[in-house]
Amino acid sequence: METQFSRLLGEIEHVALLEKAGAISKTLNIYMFGWWAQRLQPNLTTQERNNIYWEVAVQYLDELKGEADDFYKLTQEERRKYHSAHAV
């Protein structure tokens, strides 16, 4: 299980780096990965948070969870406008 979780954090880190490089938009990531961030971020252990090799992934999950929390508070009409404005 630990190996699978490490692979998942590695993939999350790839998404974070792609976003930082401008290859993927933040709005697309909120839509595509926000649900996952809301479930993964609260379950990160202190050991995972303090691991220097996961700093990018952990920071990204922290940020994405907050943005996803805000997104999921929107009404359906607000989400439609958001999608239209951000070309999701």
pLDDT of 2: 80
CA distance 49 to 44: 7
Residue whose C-alpha is closest to residue 55's, from 24, 86, 10? 10
- The token pair at 41 is 């971020």
Q: Which residue has the tokens 């508070």?
A: 73
Look up residue 56 and give its two tokens: 């990018």
For residue 1, pLDDT over 80 is answered with: no
Residue 24 is classified by DSSP as: S
In the prediction, which pLDDT does 21 show? 96
Tokens of 2: 């630990």
Q: Which amino acid is present at 28?
A: L
> The whole model's pTM is what?
0.85
In this predicted model, what pLDDT tens digit does every residue of 33-71 receive, in sequence order?
999 999 999 999 999 999 999 999 999 999 999 999 999
Give yes or no for residue 88 having a pLDDT over 60.
no
